[in-house]
């Protein structure tokens, strides 16, 4: 951590020494421990404290798929990384400046990610022979020279917490569990974080058990006071607020932002929102969040399985609601037949796919972008749907609104491709002006539309959108047939006529291809770049950070990012042909690159990884520099 400025130590009136305060422009901290050590809660609270100071923030939670992996083992390590700065940042950071390791497993699992000179705060109480042996340490790394390249701070977190709570009416087990609050207090002191909101949070969380409120507050304050008094931490750090657009901000995760986007879509359309969902990692939080918003006309149903969930959502759309279903890749596979039914019925339906590492169950808590092919092509027959992807946690709000707009306007299923990285990551979100949000009001069919004035033609199309009329069941005079069998043009009668089927298939495809979407924008500051980096979804942050790094080295490079994947922007082909080389980084084996090569005949350079982790800016920067050398 390179300091920008430093205040010398001075003596106050009582003769004690005031510690140095060093100004930093950015810090990356990773909290790591056993999955029962509360690292996600600790990281979340530190992030909330940091948000109050006005820093820009990006986070990366990382936890095991098992509910409770064996304690003290490498598979059981859970971590939470937070990157905060006094300027606009795009990623959770490539490498931590500070690692808080609650046990040997946490140290071993994360040590390779640390740069030399990083601070390591270790809970010495957990470095027992038994715990060391669980992760293959023959000797304690605290006693040999293996950590010589780092600044190690040995802190007896567990025993100090138990000692601080000796006079409280809590068991030793509950006292030991409070060690994460001791660590949070220490880090909050080190980085000059406010803590009032954390104390209020603890009061709410343990409201039914006042003794736990008192214990956790005391543990937090003990950690703060330890930082203030110990000689091991001689410097305290400050990161000034970032210069951000004026307005009201809140820290938000992608899943929460997406949920609020769906609530806003219901309000702006005037329609009830119906969510049919089956719990699945990492999409379940959307169900949890939407269930809190009944006052906005949101109805949530936890179905018995994925097929029932999407069937209920499609039925709700037939009845005049905005039908939504949420899932991950395995669930999309199960829902595919009903999505095809929605294509045939030409009804609005939003399918949220929070992608995770596959195939099959894969790595449920890790991230990947490998569902693009399934979203674009993964249905029987010619069953095109619209596909969009948010680029960041806060962008999930606007992507949800856009998905609803397209679904309602064009009477089509829309797949929203989020992923675990943006779903569980968080960043500051500027609350939008409600009046600036799109008007999504829908006109339902209310009277017959046939030439004779008495007939209702359910597949008579709007000439501009190619959408058919949406008639709420029970509307007098608008009775019509629905189902999965092919429909006759205009009348909606069952039809096996070859010419009619050809016409309906082409019309459904044209309805998607002619949806007007914004042109893709290119970031090319110098205007003379010969290499374009094209991304989609959550690779936006790492690509943007890598391009910044390349430009800081005096090289020119352009960046463009796709939100709409079906249909694609009308100007994309022209943009791609404007550059000598196009690089497409993806967290899959090149799915967008295959589409770009086939559709635009551009020999895109595919750069891929499928590690269950997001790209680091450094690895992308190295790759882009190699491409630039060969232009």
Pick from 515, 539, 555: which residue ends a domain? 515
Beta strand 235-239 pairing with 20-24: parallel
Q: Do 88 and 204 reside in the same domain of the chain? A: yes
Q: Is residue 367 part of a domain?
A: yes
Region 323-331: mean pLDDT is 98
Q: Is residue 339 part of a domain?
A: yes
Pick from 385, 414, 436: which residue ends a domain? 436
3 pLDDT more than 90: no
Q: Do 283 and 345 reside in the same domain of the chain? A: yes
Structure confidence at residue 16 as a pLDDT band (50, 70, 90): low
Structure confidence at residue 1 as a pLDDT band (50, 70, 90): very low
- Residues in Cβ contact with 112 at an 8 Å cutoff, skipping those fewer than 6 apart: none
CATH number of 543's domain: 3.40.50.920
Percent of the chain exceeding pLDDT 90 equals 94
Structure confidence at residue 67 as a pLDDT band (50, 70, 90): confident
Region 275-302: mean pLDDT is 98
Print the domain residue range for 608. Answer: 522-629
Give the separation between CA 312 and CA 600, rounded to whole angstroms: 39
CATH number of 357's domain: 3.40.50.970
215 pLDDT more than 50: yes
Structure confidence at residue 521 as a pLDDT band (50, 70, 90): very high
Residues forming a β-bridge with 153: 121
Q: Do 227 and 330 reside in the same domain of the chain? A: no
Q: Do 418 and 468 reside in the same domain of the chain? A: no
Nearest alpha-carbon partner for 586 in 376, 421, 369: 369
Q: Do 80 and 228 reside in the same domain of the chain? A: yes
Region 205-223: mean pLDDT is 95
Q: Is residue 427 part of a domain?
A: yes
How much is the pTM? 0.94
- Residues in Cβ contact with 547 at an 8 Å cutoff, skipping those fewer than 6 apart: 523, 533, 557, 559, 624
Q: Do 36 and 170 reside in the same domain of the chain? A: yes
Q: Is residue 12 part of a domain?
A: no
2 pLDDT more than 90: no
Give the separation between CA 596 and CA 603, rounded to whole angstroms: 8
Structure confidence at residue 455 as a pLDDT band (50, 70, 90): very high
Q: Do 201 and 102 reside in the same domain of the chain? A: yes
Q: Tell me the per-residue pLDDT of 226-284, one tens digit each, with 9 for 90 and over.
A: 999 999 998 999 999 999 999 999 999 999 999 999 999 999 999 999 999 999 999 99
DSSP state for residue 369 in the 8-state scheme? -
Q: Tell me the per-residue pLDDT of 134-179, one tens digit each, with 9 for 90 and over.
A: 999 999 999 999 999 999 999 999 999 999 999 999 999 999 999 9
Pick from 239, 269, 299: which residue ends a domain? 239
Number of domains in the chain: 4
Q: Is residue 244 part of a domain?
A: no
- Residues in Cβ contact with 17 at an 8 Å cutoff, skipping those fewer than 6 apart: 9, 10, 11
Q: Do 259 and 229 reside in the same domain of the chain? A: no
Q: Do 393 and 450 reside in the same domain of the chain? A: no
Give the separation between CA 77 and CA 62, rounded to whole angstroms: 9
Q: Is residue 2 part of a domain?
A: no
pLDDT at 11: 38
Give the separation between CA 205 and CA 203, rounded to whole angstroms: 6
Helix or strand or coil: residue 354? Answer: strand
Q: Do 487 and 535 reside in the same domain of the chain? A: no
CATH number of 153's domain: 3.40.920.10
Q: Is residue 193 part of a domain?
A: yes
Structure confidence at residue 17 as a pLDDT band (50, 70, 90): low
Q: Do 283 and 373 reside in the same domain of the chain? A: yes
Q: Do 168 and 107 reside in the same domain of the chain? A: yes
92 pLDDT more than 80: yes
CB 330 within 8 A of CB 358: yes
Return mean pLDDT, the chain: 95
580 pLDDT more than 50: yes
Region 125-129: mean pLDDT is 97
Q: Is residue 3 part of a domain?
A: no
């Amino acid at each position: 951590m390179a300091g920008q400025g430093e205040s010398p130590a001075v003596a106050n009136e009582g003769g004690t020494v005031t510690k140095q305060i060093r100004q930093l422009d950015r810090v990356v901290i990773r909290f790591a421990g056993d999955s029962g050590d509360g690292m996600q809660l600790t990281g979340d609270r530190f992030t909330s404290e940091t948000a109050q100071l006005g820093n820009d923030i990006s986070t990366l939670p990382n936890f095991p798929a098992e509910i409770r992996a064996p304690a003290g083992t490498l598979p059981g390590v859970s971590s939470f990384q937070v990157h905060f700065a006094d300027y606009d940042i795009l990623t959770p950071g490539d490498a931590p400046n500070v690692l808080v390791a609650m046990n040997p497993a946490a140290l071993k699992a994360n040590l390779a990610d640390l740069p030399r000179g990083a601070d390591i705060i270790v809970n010495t109480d957990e470095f027992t022979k038994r715990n060391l042996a669980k992760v293959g340490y023959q000797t304690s790394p605290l006693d040999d020279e293996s950590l010589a390249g780092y600044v190690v701070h040995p802190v007896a977190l567990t025993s100090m917490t138990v000692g601080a709570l000796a006079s409280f009416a809590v068991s030793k087990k509950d006292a030991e569990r409070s060690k994460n609050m001791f660590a949070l207090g220490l880090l909050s002191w080190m980085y000059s974080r406010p803590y009032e909101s954390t104390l209020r949070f603890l009061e709410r969380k343990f409201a039914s058990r006042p003794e736990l409120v008192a214990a956790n507050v005391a543990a937090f304050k003990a950690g703060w006071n330890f930082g203030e008094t110990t000689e091991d931490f001689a410097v305290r750090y400050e990161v000034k607020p970032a210069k951000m657009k004026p307005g009201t901000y809140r820290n938000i995760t992608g899943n929460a932002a997406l949920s609020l986007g769906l609530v806003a879509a219901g309000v702006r359309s005037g329609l009830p929102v119906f969510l049919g969902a089956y719990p699945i990692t990492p999409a379940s939080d959307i169900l949890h969040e939407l269930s809190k918003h009944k006052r906005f006309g949101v109805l949530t149903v936890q179905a018995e399985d994925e097929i029932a969930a999407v069937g209920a959502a499609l039925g709700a759309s037939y009845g005049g609601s905005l039908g939504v279903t949420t899932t991950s890749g395995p669930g999309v596979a199960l829902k595919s037949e009903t999505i095809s039914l929605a294509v045939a019925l030409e009804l609005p339906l939003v399918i949220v796919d929070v992608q995770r590492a596959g195939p099959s169950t894969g790595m449920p808590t890790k991230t990947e972008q490998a569902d693009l092919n399934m979203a674009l092509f993964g249905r029987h027959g010619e069953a095109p749907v619209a596909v969009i992807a948010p680029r960041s946690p806060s962008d999930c709000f606007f992507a949800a609104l856009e998905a609803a707009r397209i679904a309602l306007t064009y009477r089509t299923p829309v797949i929203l491709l989020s992923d675990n990285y943006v779903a569980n990551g968080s960043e500051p979100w500027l609350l939008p002006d409600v009046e600036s949000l799109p008007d999504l009001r829908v006109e339902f069919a209310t009277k017959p539309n046939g030439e004779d004035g008495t007939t209702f033609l359910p597949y008579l199309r709007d000439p501009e959108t190619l959408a058919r009329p949406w008639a709420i069941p029970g509307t007098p005079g608008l009775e019509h047939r629905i189902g999965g069998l092919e429909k006759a043009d205009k009348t909606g009668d069952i039809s096996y006529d070859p010419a009619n089927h050809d016409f309906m298939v082409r019309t459904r495809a044209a309805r998607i291809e002619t949806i007007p979407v914004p042109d893709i924008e290119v970031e090319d500051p110098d205007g003379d770049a010969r290499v374009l980096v094209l991304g989609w979804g959550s690779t936006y942050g790492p690509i943007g950070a890598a391009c910044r790094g390349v430009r800081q080295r005096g090289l020119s490079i352009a960046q463009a990012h796709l939100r709409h994947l079906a249909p694609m922007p009308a100007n994309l082909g022209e943009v791609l042909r404007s550059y000598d080389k196009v690089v497409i980084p993806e967290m899959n084996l090149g799915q967008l690159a295959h589409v770009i090569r086939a559709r635009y005949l551009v020999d895109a350079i595919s750069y891929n990884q499928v590690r269950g982790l997001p790209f680091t800016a450094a690895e992308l920067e190295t790759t882009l520099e190699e491409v630039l050398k060969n232009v």
